[in-house]
């Protein structure tokens, strides 16, 4: 099999890179072992939420204080600006508008009643928390406790009331998850009946916080419709995985990739590359009965760090990049991977491949390791997407840079 560019990985970095490369005129195929962080992340675009443990008010200011080796510093602000700009236009056109800007951090309400710092939030999470806040759960939906959420919001100084709304009759009386509920809310009839109960619960409030399950295929329409029907501003609170706002974003990326003729193949990991004269000539992926070799001109690794299995943390303490064996800076002992306390930062989260400004992976001497190979997203060294809240920002910025460098037509 043969193609032009292969992107390995289908998380935010992989999808963004595939779309950007296809828009830049390349023919792209995505091969991934499975879904990725789109389904786990709360659907926002984190650019730089915290530095040194403290919330960052202006992402751009925070970035200027990051170490030189940080991906944002390597790439420069311009790329990030263009990436964020491009993202906002793309999602808005797809009916999934995001609010916010690089100049100002914002807070996203979570199911625990905490307010996570982030940069861009999808419209259903963007209403301001002001006035009387009704915190509304859905009966039988175990991944949102209005009591717990309300308590957290009260601690932050808000005036809250707690409600539980019964769901209209549907096929999932006893057993359902966020995704089932979101699909049900896509249906106008179900949604209309739900709106009655929701409206009653939110009657005396200026704004209501609900779990992030307001529709899936209908993008933000269901949320907008429920706001109209209830006459109340609605805020979707971020939940544990699976993240419905994340899956919405995944769906629009997938649709865009489909439009661009990009094939996405899930279920089998890429296990290696073929190299000739110091350049990558093909990727080798697992097939049902034999390895599948797909020849290509360029490979973009978007395999994530340890969390994405782009890097394997071995029992003997070594760290191995799982596709091309690129060098990964290690630790003296296995126990150095992790902090003593769970909620502290874990060094393993920042493990990655060192790259140059063109995202080419470098060998231990600081020279590009292999031609025809670029790295994007969480796979990069010198940043911890969770600890500093930068996952989507790095994904988008690196995707944009990769597309610039590999464009068939100048961008």
Partner 1 sequence: MLRVEQTADSCVKCNICNTVCPVSAVTDLFPGPKYEGPQGQRFRAGLDGDASPDYSLDYCSGCGLCTQACPEGVMVAEINQVAREKLVRSRGGLRLRDKLVCRPTLMARLARPVAPLANLALANPAVRWLLEKVMGVHRKAPMPRFSVMTFRSWARSHRPPTDPARTVAYFHGCATQEYEPEVGAALVRVLERSGVRVTYPKQYCCGLPLISNGDFDAARRFATRQMASLEGAARDPGVIVANSTSCGMTLKAKYRELLGMEDERTANVSRAVYDICEYLADLADEGALDTSFRPLSAKAIYHPQCQLMAHGAGMPALDLLALVPELKVELSVVGCCGMAGTYGTKVEKYDIAMDVGDGLWEQARTTRPDFIVCDSETCRWFIAKATGLPVYHPVQVLDRAYRA
Partner 2 sequence: MADLETQVVVVGGGATGTAVLRDLALRGIDAVLVERADLGTGTSGRWHGLLHSGGRYVVKDPVSATECIEENMALRRIAPHCIEDTGGLFVLLPENDQSYGDAFVEACAKTGVPCEELTPAQARKREPQLAPNLSRVFAVPDGTLDGWKLMGGFVADATVRGARVLLRQPVVGFERDGDQIRAVRVRDMVAGGERLIGCQWVLNAAGAWAGQIATLAGGKLRMAPGKGAMVVMVGRYVRGVVNDCRMPGDGDIIVPVHEVAILGTTDVETDDPDDISVDPRDVDFMIDSAAKMVPAIATGRVLRAFSGSRPLFKPEDAGGDSRDITRAFFVLDHSERDGPGNLLSIVGGKLTTCRQMAERTVDTLVRRMSLDTPCTTGEAPIPGAEHGLHRLADPLATVERQREYGELVCECELVTRARIEAAVDEGTTELDDLRRQLRLGFGPCQAAFCGWRAAAIVEDRRPGATEPLANLERFLEERWRGQQVTTWGDGAVQALLNHAIYRGIFDLQPERESAGAKQVADAMPERRDELRVTEAAAEGES
Residues found near partner 2 in the complex (CB under 8 A): 37, 40-42, 49, 53, 110-112, 114-117, 140, 142-143, 145, 147-148, 151-152, 174-176, 238-241, 243, 305-307, 309, 312-315, 317, 333-335, 337-338, 340-344, 346, 348-349, 385-387, 389, 391
Per DSSP, helices labelled H in 332-390 are: none
For residues 319 and 352, give the distance between their C-alpha atoms in angstroms, rounded to a whole number: 9
The verdict on 179 binding partner 1 (CB under 8 A) reads: yes
Q: What is the 3 state secondary structure string of 19-71?
A: HHHHHCCCCEEEEECCCCHHHCCCCCECCCCEECCEECCCHHHHHHCCCCCCH
Residue 101 DSSP class: B
Shortest Å distance, C-beta 242 to partner 1: 4
For residues 44 and 38, give the distance between their C-alpha atoms in angstroms, rounded to a whole number: 10
Pick from partner 1, partner 2, none: which does 386 bind, CB < 5 to 8 A by kind?
partner 2
* Shorter beta-carbon distance to partner 1: residue 48 or 239: 239
Residue of 263, 264, 253, 246 whose CA lies nearest to 93: 253
* Shorter beta-carbon distance to partner 1: residue 289 or 364: 289
Neighbours of 215 (CB within 10 A): 25
The verdict on 169 binding partner 1 (CB under 8 A) reads: no
Shortest Å distance, C-beta 167 to partner 2: 12
Residue of 130, 134, 243 whose CA lies nearest to 197: 134
Q: CB within 8 A of 225, min separation 6: which ones?
A: 188, 191, 195
Q: CB within 8 A of 93, min separation 6: which ones?
A: none
Are residues 44 and 392 in contact, defined by beta-carbon separation less than 8 angstroms?
Answer: yes
Q: Which residue bears the tokens 């992107």?
A: 7
Pick from partner 2, partner 1, none: which does 116 bind, CB < 5 to 8 A by kind?
partner 2
- Which of 26, 33, 127, 220 touches partner 1 by CB under 8 A? 33
* Shorter beta-carbon distance to partner 1: residue 199 or 269: 269
- Which of 139, 288, 335, 409 touches partner 1 by CB under 8 A? 288
* Shorter beta-carbon distance to partner 1: residue 231 or 287: 287
Looking at residues 298 to 327 of the shown chain, list those that interact with partner 1 (rule: CB under 8 A).
Answer: 308-309
Pick from partner 1, partner 2, none: which does 344 bind, CB < 5 to 8 A by kind?
partner 2
For residues 91 and 232, give the distance between their C-alpha atoms in angstroms, rounded to a whole number: 24
Pick from partner 1, partner 2, none: which does 22 bind, CB < 5 to 8 A by kind?
none
Q: For residue 171, what are the CA distances in angstroms to 176, 180, 211, 249? A: 9, 10, 20, 26
- Which of 12, 21, 22, 29 touches partner 1 by CB under 8 A? 29
Shortest Å distance, C-beta 233 to partner 2: 22
Write out the residues near partner 1 by the rule CB under 8 A: 1-2, 29, 33-36, 39-40, 171-177, 179-180, 183, 241-242, 247, 258, 263, 265-269, 285-290, 292, 308-309
């Amino acid at each position: 099999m043969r193609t032009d560019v292969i992107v390995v990985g289908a998380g935010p970095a992989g999808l963004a890179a595939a779309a950007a490369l296809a828009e830049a005129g390349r023919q792209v195929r995505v091969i991934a072992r499975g879904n990725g962080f789109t389904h786990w992340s709360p659907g926002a675009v984190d650019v730089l939420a915290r530095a040194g443990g403290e919330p960052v008010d202006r992402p751009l200011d925070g970035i200027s204080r990051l170490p030189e080796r940080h991906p944002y510093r390597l790439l420069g602000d311009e790329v990030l600006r263009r990436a964020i700009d491009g993202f906002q236009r793309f999602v808005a056109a797809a009916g999934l508008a995001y609010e916010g800007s690089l100049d100002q951090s914002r807070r996203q309400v979570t199911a625990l009643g905490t307010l996570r710092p982030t940069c861009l939030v999808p419209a259903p999470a963007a209403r301001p928390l002001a006035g009387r806040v009704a915190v509304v759960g859905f009966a039988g939906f175990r991944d949102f406790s209005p009591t717990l959420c309300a308590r957290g919001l009260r601690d932050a100084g808000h005036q809250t009331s707690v409600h539980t709304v019964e769901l209209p009759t549907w096929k999932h009386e006893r057993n359902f998850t966020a995704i089932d509920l979101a699909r049900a809310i896509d249906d106008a009839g179900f949604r209309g009946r739900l709106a009655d109960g929701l409206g009653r619960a939110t009657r005396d409030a200026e704004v209501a916080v609900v779990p992030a399950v307001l529709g899936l295929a209908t993008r933000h329409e269901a949320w907008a419709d429920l706001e109209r029907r209830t006459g109340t501003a609605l805020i979707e609170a971020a939940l544990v995985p699976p993240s419905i706002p994340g899956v919405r974003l995944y769906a629009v990326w997938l649709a865009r990739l489909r439009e661009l003729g990009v094939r996405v193949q899930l279920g089998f990991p890429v296990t290696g590359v073929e190299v000739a004269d110091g350049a990558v000539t093909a990727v080798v992926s697992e097939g049902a009965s034999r390895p599948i070799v797909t020849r290509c001109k360029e490979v973009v690794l978007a395999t994530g760090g340890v969390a994405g299995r782009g890097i394997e943390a071995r029992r003997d303490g070594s760290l191995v990049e799982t596709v091309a064996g690129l060098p990964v800076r290690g630790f003296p002992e296995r126990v150095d991977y992790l902090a003593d306390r769970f909620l502290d930062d874990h060094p393993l989260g920042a493990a990655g491949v060192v790259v140059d400004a063109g995202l080419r992976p470098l060998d231990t001497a600081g020279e590009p390791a292999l031609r025809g190979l670029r790295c994007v997203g969480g796979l990069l060294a010198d940043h911890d997407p969770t600890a500093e809240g930068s996952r989507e920002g790095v994904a988008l910025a690196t995707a944009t840079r990769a597309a610039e460098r590999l464009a068939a037509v100048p961008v």
